[in-house]
Amino acid sequence: MVVAELAQYVATGLLVGGVYALMSIGLALIFGVMRVVNFAQGDFMMLGMYLTYFYALAGVDPLLGALLTIPPFFVLGWIVHRGLLARVTGGGDPQRQMDAQLILTLGLSLVITNATTMILTPTPRGIRTAYATQAFTVGPILLNEARSYAFAMALVLAAALWLFLTRTDAGRALRAAADDPEAASYQGIDVRAMHGLAFGAGIALVAAAGGLLATYYPIEPSVAVNFIVLMFVAVVLGGLGSIPGAFVGGLVIGLVQSLTLLALPFQLQNTGVFIVFLLVLYLRPQGLFGRRARTV
Amino acid sequence: MLSITGLGVTYGGLHALTGVTLEVGAGEFVTLVGPNGAGKTTLLKAISGTVAASEGRVAYQGRDVARLRASERAALGIAHVPEGRRVFPTLTVRENLELGSYRRAARRRRTESLATVLELFPILRERERQLAGSLSGGEQQMLALGRGLMAQPELLLLDEPSQGLGPRIVEQIFETIDRIRRERRLTILLVEQRVVEALELCDRGYVLETGRVVLDGGREGSTFTSSASRIREASRCGRACWRASHRPCRDCSARSSGGWPIASGAR
Ligand SMILES: Nc1ncnc2c1ncn2[C@@H]1O[C@H](COP(=O)(O)OP(=O)(O)OP(=O)(O)O)[C@@H](O)[C@H]1O
Ligand SMILES: [Mg+2]
């Protein structure tokens, strides 16, 4: 009986963790390639939730809607990079660039949250689907259908990213630009275009994760704050900039959140996450998948 | 092929290069030597586009490349094998090589280039699936050189390929460079501290000192031997007595054999 209960918590945690994983790899991709900490990541997620909501109003199933957020958000990310971020990345005094990036992405976050609140009002909205209230039964365990589908889609998208990064020329060029931008440019790789690609893809992934989340989570302009910290923790847990690391980090957070509920009330769900976070930082400061500081 | 006139480069007000004029003809093998901090790396970067020229002109195949970014210059067939190897550490050896042929003109012939490079450096075939960051220094240098060759370049810029390597590997690297060059009629601009070896291979040479060309082997001597011996003569102690017009200083005349004090020294 206890075992069954534990298995239920693990399963629930992993299902939620899959969506966290998808959010976090977007952030890790951006940090890994551009060395930019994108504080507006959660806000793009929120926008992805809204877009999926509007798709749903137009009769598009939110699982498909989540996928359909990818093209417009990729373009949006590309434009934000070209118009804003490209001015404060690549070349120049690194310290001043870091400051400028910080202010830029924080500012972007504020603008997006407030503009959304103004235009769409703070009223929470939800997407109603038939499957949100149903569950698959696997032995003694119940798996919520909406979360199961979201989990499966998150895995598929993460796998697609992985195939892109390892099997295509553009993906390898992206990793090369992350490793050594100067050497990459000597191979004919346009590093600025790679940054645009990374930012576009990073935003598209988090928007899709938002769309998946929207199948079971209320949508409101301030929803970002509940998730941005989790994404950061996942990315740091996994080793800064490591994509498999961020993926595992996301799963771990879902799992820990869920298991915390065995001991603590719902409001303290994130306590366990921070305890694990501090433990990992203490025992393995480079993160689960991070390499030790590179020796030159 | 490459024609540089009156090139100046500054780093935040500090002059790294002043009025550098240099010519590399198609199919030529030109060596650039000079002491640490002379501006050799800076010159190669100004050619491949990762530092901006503050004055002067860099023309490649008769075309001014000032407005082209580094990636666009690479696309035109300039392959830069940078100082310190700079392989992509988290990519496999195979992926590093494949990225060498990223430029469109080389992508079509990737399989063929890969076979050639792996034949030149059999050790890379053994290490194909290994991460480049885990290779030894010598292997990394071979990988960097192989990656440069994968681009099927018209102009190959080599920045101290012997740096930090043992004599056996250095010999192998130089032999390979010589072989590639003869087989492919490649145009090469080589920066080296190992003057003796470099001069044995090259057609002509330049000596760079504190950002200026102090000896131009192309104009002073028309034949390989005369310019090589002049540079060798001029570079015994690595001081001002390199200048062709100067008489050798005490250190230089005291040492019977030539050579490059820096090459065998600290680095
Ligand atoms: N990014 C930079 N910022 C400021 N100064 C620089 C920079 N790069 C090089 N310099 C300076 O420019 C001068 C030329 O440097 P460069 O690296 O071109 O020399 P080098 O001839 O390649 O030397 P070495 O033989 O040690 O490689 C040096 O005085 C160096 O300190
Ligand atoms: Mg140098």
| Helix, strand, coil fractions of chain B, as percent rounded to 5 | 40, 25, 35
Q: Which CATH number fits domain A2-283: 1.10.260, 1.10.3470, 1.10.287, 3.30.110?
A: 1.10.3470
Query: Is the Cβ pair B86, A183 closer than 8 Å?
Result: yes
Q: Could you give all domains of chain B from N- to C-terminal order, each with its CATH number?
A: 2-77+154-254 (3.40.50.300), 88-151 (no CATH)
Residues 6+ apart with CB under 8 A from A47: A73, A112, A116, A207, A210
Interface test with B, best of A179, A186, A289 (most B CBs within 10 A): A186
pLDDT, tens digit (0-9, with 9 covering 90-100), for B136-175: 998 999 999 999 999 999 999 999 998 878 888 888 888 8
| pLDDT of B253 higher than 80 | no
Query: Is the Cβ pair B69, A188 closer than 8 Å?
Result: no
Q: Which residues of A touch B88 (CB under 8 A)?
A: 175-176, 179-180, 183-184
* Residues B174 and B197 sit within 8 Å (Cβ to Cβ): yes
Query: How high is the mean pLDDT of chain B?
Result: 82
Please report the atom of ligand 1 found closest to the CA of residue B43: 18
Among candidates A263, A212, A189, A225, which has minimal Cα distance to B151? A189
Phi/psi of residue A151, nearest 5 degrees: -60, -45
Confidence of residue B252 (pLDDT cuts 50, 70, 90): very low
pLDDT at B109: 93
**Tokens for B102?**
């990223």
Q: Which residues of A touch B49 (CB under 8 A)?
A: 185
Q: Which ligand is in closest contact with the Cα of B45? A: 1
Among candidates A238, A230, A210, A200, which has minimal Cα distance to A34? A200
Query: Is the Cβ pair A172, B90 closer than 8 Å?
Result: no
pLDDT at B207: 84
**Domain definitions of chain A by residue range:** 2-283
Lowest mean pLDDT among A55-69, A92-106, A194-208, B26-40: A92-106
pLDDT at A94: 75
| pLDDT of A18 higher than 80 | yes
Query: Is the Cβ pair B99, A176 closer than 8 Å?
Result: yes
Mean pLDDT of A16-23: 95
* CA end-to-end distance (rounded Å), chain B: 32
pLDDT at B256: 34
Lowest mean pLDDT among A118-122, A169-173, B54-58, B246-250: B246-250
pLDDT at B231: 53
pLDDT at B146: 95
Strand B29-33 and strand B55-60: the pairing is unpaired
Q: Which residues of B touch A179 (CB under 8 A)?
A: 88-91
Among candidates A206, A207, A200, A198, which has minimal Cα distance to A69? A207
pLDDT at A92: 65
| pLDDT of A140 higher than 60 | yes
Measured between alpha carbons, how far is B73 from B50 in angstroms, rounded to an integer?
10
pLDDT at B208: 87
pLDDT at B243: 37
Confidence of residue A55 (pLDDT cuts 50, 70, 90): very high
Measured between alpha carbons, how far is B67 from A93 in angstroms, rounded to an integer?
23
pLDDT, tens digit (0-9, with 9 covering 90-100), for A209-248: 999 999 999 999 999 998 999 999 999 988 887 899 999 9
